[in-house]
Amino acid sequence: MSNNSVNNQIGLSTDDTVLDHQRSQSGEWDSYNDQTDTFGFFNRAGSPETFIAANIGSICTDTTNGDLYIKQTDTVPTGWVLVNLVGTPSFFQAFLSVTQVGATGGGAVFTPIFDSEVVDTNGDYDNTTGIYTAPIDGRYSFSVNIHTEVGDNNTRDGEIRLVTTSATYLMYRLRPERVIVDPTNDFEIVNTQIVQLSAGDTVRVDVVYDGGGAGTTDIIGNVTLSTTGATSPSIFSGFLINDNVSSSASGKVVQISTGSSTANTSTTSIIPIDGTQPQSGEGASYMSLAFTPMNASNRLFIEFWSYCSVAPGASGTVALFDTVASASALSAVSAVGAGQAAGTVNILFEEVAASTAARTYSIRFGPSVGGIAFGINGGAGGVSSYGASDIAMMRIWEVTP
């Protein structure tokens, strides 16, 4: 151990007394060199980012907030990454409890405040502003379900946007030439976006409609999340995918499996909307994805999204099943409500793996009334709506508990 500053004091001990290591200001306390790499141990009252230049592998403790940082670049003062030591994964879901009448129109930008929280594990979502704040650096997944009711063709030109501190992502764009239903009907638009965020970055949803006229658009809310069809509320949810903690840490994604299908499929086999869980013998099979968990204690997030259409006279249902559970559906959603011709479907289901046994998750779909066609990933007749752009996706995330 060496002392290169007259302001530093090094205390040495040969017994069990505390080693007293002092200096006159914050900064580098120790420097190590193994003749190949050099790194150090630092402290600062606050984040070291942009303040402390250090070699890759160096460690800095924030003595004001109790945070720990690791250096991931060499020599420059940037590249300090916050390590999540709390162990609480960031996950939230909230919905709009009251319909916002005339929320947007004429190009006005509306930010929905999803005020009713279902879950907010880390307190990162503010249900008074509609804004989520990233607790640490990392990749995050956000899902947006916006249920709108439009008044006339003047409000058929719209966009749903995910707005972060550093970027804006287009979640959905609605154009008048794509509308094939009655102008007074409702639309339920669902999409998911994965983004890279820094600690403190904010995320919100913006909705804007502008068809060149004076018409307005309502954003649908409801006091109950579990409603379907024309009364289902708009929803905003998100979670931290991975951070800078080792794979054994809490909330870390350990594997992801993704499947897709371009098949434009139609069926008249029904899945009744009768207050009971859909069964594996109802409707028709669309796609499946095999998965083997790495640890029985890990949590699994299963997501499916697609475009779908139903002929007049029925609603359409999409349901998720697996080979480990019973014949009853794990989750089901009414993808297209009665009176709608087209819409999007998004299922997000979470469960504990419970074992490391291989299993297969599958999607079944069907209309509510027999003899009426329901099409998934395309038109009700099983034809393509957008050619090669018709892609249904299924994804499974395994996350440490």
The CATH class for the domain spanning 91-242 reads: mainly beta
pLDDT tens-place values along the chain, 401 residues long: 344 444 444 445 455 665 667 777 788 888 888 888 888 899 998 888 889 999 988 999 988 877 788 888 788 888 787 775 545 578 899 999 998 887 777 778 889 999 999 888 888 999 999 999 998 888 899 999 888 776 554 445 678 899 999 888 887 766 543 444 444 456 677 788 888 888 889 999 998 876 555 667 788 888 887 655 567 788 999 998 875 444 444 567 778 888 888 888 899 999 998 888 899 899 999 999 999 888 888 889 998 888 788 888 888 889 999 887 667 877 767 666 555 556 778 788 888 999 888 899 999 999 988 888 888 877 666 666 565 556 788 888 888 87
- Note the pLDDT of residue 214: 60
Q: Matching CATH topology for 91-242 and 253-399?
A: yes
pLDDT value for 94 = 93
Where are the domains positioned within the chain?
9-83, 91-242, 253-399
Q: What is the DSSP letter of 328?
A: B
Residue at 114: amino acid letter:
F
What pLDDT score was predicted for residue 227?
A: 57
Q: Which amino acid is at 101?
A: V
Strands 59-62 and 38-44: parallel
Contact 225, 233 (CB under 8 A): yes
Place of tokens 């509609």: 130
DSSP 3-state of 231 = helix
Q: How far apart are CA 98 and CA 116, in angstroms?
A: 10
Query: Reduced to 3 DSSP states, what percent helix, strand and coil does the chain have, rounded to the nearest 5?
Result: 5, 45, 50
pLDDT at 142: 93
Instruction: Say if residues 348 and 303 touch (Cβ distance below 8 Å).
Output: yes
What are the φ/ψ torsions at residue 341 (nearest 5 degrees)? -100, -30
Task: Specify the pLDDT at position 247.
Answer: 40
Alpha-carbon distance 283 to 266, whole Å?
10
Which pTM was predicted?
0.47
Q: Give Cβ neighbours of residue 88 (< 8 Å, ≥ 6 apart).
A: 121, 122, 250, 251
Q: Which fold has domain 253-399?
A: Jelly Rolls (2.60.120)
Q: What is the pLDDT of residue 169?
A: 87
pLDDT of residue 32: 85
- Three-class SS state of 88: coil
